[in-house]
DNA sequence: GTCAAGTATCACCGATGGTGATCGTCACGA
DNA sequence: TCGTGACGATCACCATCGGTGATACTTGAC
């Protein structure tokens, strides 16, 4: 037994605890009871001859040994998944779990339709999608840290070196104003017309927010973002109730009574969605299958 | 359980069977009974949903799925060893198994002294040395296929792209003849003097054999190798008993009664020993420690 | 047809991994 | 200071697992 009893199950439990910083949440994620995780990590520490986690009833932290182990444990788990996927690919059926990060607003990409089709083609693959609490930048971080296999992001500007972006779709952001707003009678406006006004927008880190911030900065103008909303589908409602104006894609305005949509000229308000993949490691077979389907589905 | 019960132990058993092409030999290597290996591989096949080995009582072959799995299983096992070694490195004591390939004749490098010192410094590391049945080329193959972590080889000419060689030591091969041989009264000879004669040499694939073959080829000459011996320590004995002449390093001739050693001029008969390391993957902590000790020990 | 070597299956048994209960610890708020 | 809630570690229990040893079956070689 050249690995002294160390097994993938133990590495998986360790990684879950390290990521959750909590044994109980890790147990929920792993679908076992808390004491099973506690015992498995204790056995792993005995087998490796080093404490990996420094913990009490209030806090869980990595030790130096644990910090050394964590990225390598992820690599070992990814390698084992890749091995399993390679067998599935040869044997005619992909299996496993594909961890996908998505932006809050997936309608830019018709993601439900894409994932639905993927599921029909590969029923053995479980899709774990997670929405980005910290926007696309948070998804990029998770991808780099091997907590995600793929991510659908909106990231204006060049990506980090370890991430490859494939542009998938693009939508223009229009100005949405209440229909009694002084600008409501216009067909189009410029950024100068709306500089300094109160805006409703997504939080910093979201792709659409980055697009709007960049456009104002490029024009040498500023504005006030007085309300941040994580879901742009509620943007038109906020506008309707007079809480501010907003720059939104048309598809996010499903009920346009009480608001007007105006074009914005002379500014780059293109909101691009991309598929982010890692550069520094091969992607698994299921991820490759989804990448292929994405290329075929969203030309 | 995102890997559906697949564990490192199973991958390890599968790799052993694939390499040995025999369940019984794999069991010996793994220190378990044959039925344990048979059962573990069967379970792995069930968990992956594909037959991995096509076998009967006479023969074991990889299926396509097994061929897809094998290199990836090795990568996963290496990744897990690396994870374990990283913890050991941080925690102050290297552990694990270091698989080292060596040429049959290690005295060129004083390898026993080197490995003895390594063992004293890192008692937690088990050294598995294997001699090369197919010479240094076989060791290079084993290194590329992840069956070895490091190898001490003699490989004249450029190495393959995925292997890095660090030259460690060099010895000149001298001509050894019976003391009643017509050339025995000479101090030195050229290759032309000995072209066409019967030689004792190592098998093809051994480093020293490659050196001698290259020297004759470079001179546009040939010779007959009538006896191949895997251990050059027995070379002088063969010469003494009149079975042929040989090109050997001086250290391999411990008893020179009945033979003469002659220099060979005008030919490149330098037999170089090198440490071969993989280029395409990081080496583990124990391997890095041995590489460092080799640099310090054999300047 | 016989035989030796090897793989698969089986009965058995100690070890393992999970559950559920519970104890001890630790911030935190009253 | 004390009570509390949340959490990790330990324990008893138990179903399952993984290994052993025996053996049945298969398969080339002779």
> Could you tell me if B140 and B53 lie in one domain?
no
Nearest CA to A195 among A247, A271, A239?
Answer: A247
Angstrom distance, B6 CA to C7 C1': 22
> Could you tell me if B157 and B177 lie in one domain?
no
The reply to whether B231 falls in a domain is: yes
The answer to whether B31 contacts chain A (CB < 8 Å) is yes
Nearest CA to A36 among A45, A24, A46?
Answer: A24
Q: Nearest-CA distance from B40 to chain A in Å?
A: 14
Nearest CA to A100 among A299, A297, A287, A293?
Answer: A287
The reply to whether A130 falls in a domain is: yes
Q: Nearest-CA distance from A183 to chain B in Å?
A: 55
Beta strands in chain A (DSSP E): 53-55, 60-62, 96-102, 125-131, 150-153, 163-178, 188-190, 198-201, 224-228, 245-249, 259-265, 270-278
The reply to whether B129 falls in a domain is: yes
Out of B59, B76, B93, a domain closes at B76
The answer to whether A82 contacts chain B (CB < 8 Å) is yes
Q: Which two tokens stand for residue B96?
A: 């694990």
Residue ranges of chain B whose pLDDT lies below 50: 1
Question: With an 8 Å Cβ cutoff, are B72 and A83 in contact?
Answer: yes
Measured between beta carbons, the chain B residues lying within 8 angstroms of A48 are 84, 87-88, 91
Residue A281 has pLDDT above 90, yes or no: no
Range of the domain at B253: 170-272
> Could you tell me if A196 and A237 lie in one domain?
yes
Q: What are phi and psi of A72, to 5 degrees?
A: -75, -35
> Could you tell me if A138 and A16 lie in one domain?
no
Residue A44 has pLDDT above 50, yes or no: yes
Angstrom distance, B30 CA to C1 C1': 37
Q: What confidence score (pLDDT) does residue B1 get?
A: 41
The reply to whether B157 falls in a domain is: yes
Per-residue pLDDT band at A2 (split at 50, 70, 90): low
> Could you tell me if A95 and A72 lie in one domain?
no
Q: What confidence score (pLDDT) does residue B107 get?
A: 66
> Could you tell me if B164 and B183 lie in one domain?
no
> Could you tell me if A98 and A131 lie in one domain?
yes
Quickly list DSSP for B79-109: HHHHHHHHHHHHHT---EEEEEEE-S--TTT
* Residue B131 CB neighbours (<10 A): 15
- In Å, how far from its chain's centre is CA A294? 16
pLDDT: which is higher, A224 or B53 = B53
Q: Which two tokens stand for residue B197?
A: 């004669």
| Count: domains in chain B | 3
> Could you tell me if B266 and B245 lie in one domain?
yes
Measured between beta carbons, the chain A residues lying within 8 angstroms of B97 are 2
Out of A48, A77, A106, a domain closes at A77
The reply to whether B180 falls in a domain is: yes
> Could you tell me if B237 and B199 lie in one domain?
yes
Out of A20, A45, A77, a domain closes at A77
Q: What confidence score (pLDDT) does residue A107 get?
A: 66
> Could you tell me if B13 and B41 lie in one domain?
yes
Q: Report B:83-142 residues touching A (Cβ under 8 A).
A: 83-84, 86-91, 93, 95-97
Q: What confidence score (pLDDT) does residue A69 get?
A: 96
> Could you tell me if A144 and A290 lie in one domain?
yes
Exposure of A67 by Cβ count < 10 A (0-12 exposed, 13-18 middle, 19+ buried)?
middle
The reply to whether A178 falls in a domain is: yes
Per-residue pLDDT band at A212 (split at 50, 70, 90): very high
> Could you tell me if A176 and A267 lie in one domain?
yes
Decide: CB of B24 under 7 A of nucleic strand D: no
pLDDT: which is higher, B205 or A25 = A25
The reply to whether B2 falls in a domain is: no
CATH code for the domain in which residue A114 is found? 3.40.190.10
Q: What is the rounded distance in angstroms from the CA atom of residue B114 to the CA atom of residue B150?
A: 14
Q: What confidence score (pLDDT) does residue A1 get?
A: 40
On average, the pLDDT of chain A sits at 86
Mean pLDDT of A263-284: 87
Kindly state the greatest CA–CA separation across chain A.
77
CB A7 within 8 A of CB A25: no
Measured between beta carbons, the chain B residues lying within 8 angstroms of A69 are 83, 86-87
CATH code for the domain in which residue A51 is found? 1.10.10.10
The reply to whether B205 falls in a domain is: yes
Q: Nearest-CA distance from A281 to chain B in Å?
A: 12
């Amino acid at each position: 037994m050249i690995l002294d009893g160390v097994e993938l199950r133990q590495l998986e439990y360790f990684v879950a605890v390290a990521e959750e910083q909590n044994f109980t949440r890790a147990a929920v994620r792993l679908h076992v009871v808390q004491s099973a995780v506690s015992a498995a990590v204790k056995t792993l520490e005995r087998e490796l001859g080093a404490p990996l986690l420094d913990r009490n009833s209030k806090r869980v932290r990595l030790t130096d040994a644990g910090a050394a182990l964590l990225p390598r444990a992820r690599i070992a788990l990814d390698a084992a998944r890749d091995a399993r996927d390679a067998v599935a690919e040869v044997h005619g059926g992909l299996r496993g779990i594909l961890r996908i990060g998505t932006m809050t607003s997936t309608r830019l990409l018709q993601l439900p339709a894409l994932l639905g089709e993927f599921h029909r083609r590969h029923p053995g693959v479980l899709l774990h999608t997670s929405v980005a609490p910290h926007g696309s930048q948070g998804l990029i971080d998770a991808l780099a840290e091997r907590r995600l296999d793929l991510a659908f992001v909106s990231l204006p500007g060049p990506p980090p070196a370890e991430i490859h972006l494939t542009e998938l779709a693009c939508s223009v952001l229009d100005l949405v104003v209440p229909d009694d707003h002084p600008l409501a009678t216009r067909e189009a406006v410029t950024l100068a017309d709306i500089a300094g006004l109160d805006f409703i927008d997504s939080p910093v880190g979201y792709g659409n927010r980055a697009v709007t911030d960049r456009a104002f900065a490029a024009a040498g103008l500023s504005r006030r973002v007085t309300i941040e909303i994580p879901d742009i589908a509620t943007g038109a409602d906020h506008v309707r109730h007079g809480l501010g104006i907003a720059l939104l894609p048309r598809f996010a305005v499903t009920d346009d009574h009480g608001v007007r949509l105006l074009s914005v000229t002379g500014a780059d308000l293109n909101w691009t969605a991309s598929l982010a993949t890692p550069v520094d490691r091969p992607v698994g077979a299921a991820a490759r299958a989804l990448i292929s389907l994405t290329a075929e589905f969203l030309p």
